[in-house]
């Protein structure tokens, strides 16, 4: 299965939200990263056929998704970021409702719901109304509904928002498990959510793809450009002015400023640091 974006452009009056994007997705996890307004939501809405492109096409195995119609949409699982989901419905009724929209027979829906609520750790609240759920519980309910029908293409918008660290890890591991034979696209601001599970990262800015590739390949761009500076509190403003600072930590009286620079030229003691995707995100998008 291959999902191709060919010259994909979306304009709103005088604003271009997505500009001439060409990219191919195959089974595996893709991390879609970028600041607000980068074009992530527009790309997801075009892939899910919620928007019509101004120009360009979305193709599944060489066929336009517009021509595939309902057959294509049956292959989709979508988890939105918004959590205003039927507060008066119990989780059980919500999932059966979503299963019916996907055309699942009642017997199959019941089996899938039992399995999915165990996977997302919500078995004990099936009879509880969604309006009483915490933010993290709603996230897990949205993930469960996205997985109904065993979709081949899974679009997840900020899937770990509102989760505590333990649940964040659980959901991240679950996504890795189900992604074995699916195209999974995760839009997120939390770089660590995709740094270790994505086979490829797509970095967007201003409606364009800035970089794409495996995390290890992308990080080669920062080889020799990330440093720890050992400074005092009084010297911190000067370091902030000279460099892009991605992290500040303290060790006793010493401030450790993690900076991105070709070669720090200040008077401070320094040591080379191993780059990560947060460093690259800052490097490409500015302070």
| 90: DSSP letter | B
Residues 14-67: tens digit of each pLDDT: 889 999 999 999 999 999 988 888 888 899 999 999 899 999 999 999 999 989
- Which is nearest to 277 in space by CA: 222, 207, 209, 224? 222
Please tell me the predicted confidence (pLDDT) of residue 254: 92
User: What fold is seen in the domain 3-219?
Assistant: Rossmann fold (3.40.50)
Kind and range of the H or E run holding 109? helix 106-119
Sign of CA dihedral 198, 200, 201, 202: negative
Structural domain boundaries of the chain? 3-219, 223-285
Asked if residues 183 and 256 have their Cβ atoms less than 8 Å apart, the reply is no
Q: In this model, does residue 110 exceed pLDDT 80?
A: yes
pTM value? 0.87
User: How would you classify residue 200: left for phi > 0, otherwise alpha for psi between -120 and 50, otherwise beta?
Assistant: beta
Residues 172-196: tens digit of each pLDDT: 888 888 888 899 999 987 787 788 8
β 153-157/183-187 pair status? parallel
Strand partners, 256: 230, 249
Q: Distance (Å, rounded) from C-alpha 277 to C-alpha 287?
A: 14
**Out of 69-73, 130-134, 256-260, 262-266, which region has the weakest mean confidence (pLDDT)?**
262-266
């Amino acid at each position: 299965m291959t999902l191709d974006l060919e010259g994909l452009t979306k304009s709103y009056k005088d604003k271009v939200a997505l500009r001439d994007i060409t990219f191919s997705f195959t089974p595996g996890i893709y991390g879609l990263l970028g600041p607000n307004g980068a074009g992530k939501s527009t790309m997801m809405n075009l892939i899910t056929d919620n928007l019509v492109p101004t120009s360009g096409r979305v193709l599944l195995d060489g066929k336009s998704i517009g021509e595939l119609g309902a057959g294509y949409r049956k292959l989709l699982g979508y988890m939105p970021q918004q959590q205003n989901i039927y507060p008066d419905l119990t989780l059980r009724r919500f999932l059966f409702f979503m299963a019916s929209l996907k055309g699942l027979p009642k017997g199959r829906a019941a089996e899938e719901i039992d399995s999915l609520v165990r996977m997302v750790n919500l078995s004990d609240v099936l009879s509880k109304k969604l309006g009483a759920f915490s933010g993290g519980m709603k996230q897990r309910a949205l993930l469960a509904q996205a997985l109904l029908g065993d979709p081949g293409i899974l679009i997840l918008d900020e899937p770990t928002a509102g989760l505590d660290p333990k649940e964040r890890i659980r959901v991240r591991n679950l996504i890795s498990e189900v992604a074995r034979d699916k195209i999974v696209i995760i839009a997120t601001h939390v770089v660590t959510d995709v740094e270790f599970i994505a086979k490829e990262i797509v970095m967007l800015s201003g409606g364009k793809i800035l970089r794409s590739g495996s995390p290890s390949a992308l990080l080669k761009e920062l080889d020799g450009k990330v440093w720890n500076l050992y400074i005092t509190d009084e010297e911190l403003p000067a370091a902030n002015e000279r460099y892009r600072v991605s992290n500040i930590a303290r060790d006793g009286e010493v401030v450790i400023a993690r900076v991105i620079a070709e070669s720090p030229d200040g008077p401070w003691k320094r040591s080379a640091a191993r780059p990560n995707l947060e460093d690259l995100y800052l490097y490409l998008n500015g302070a």
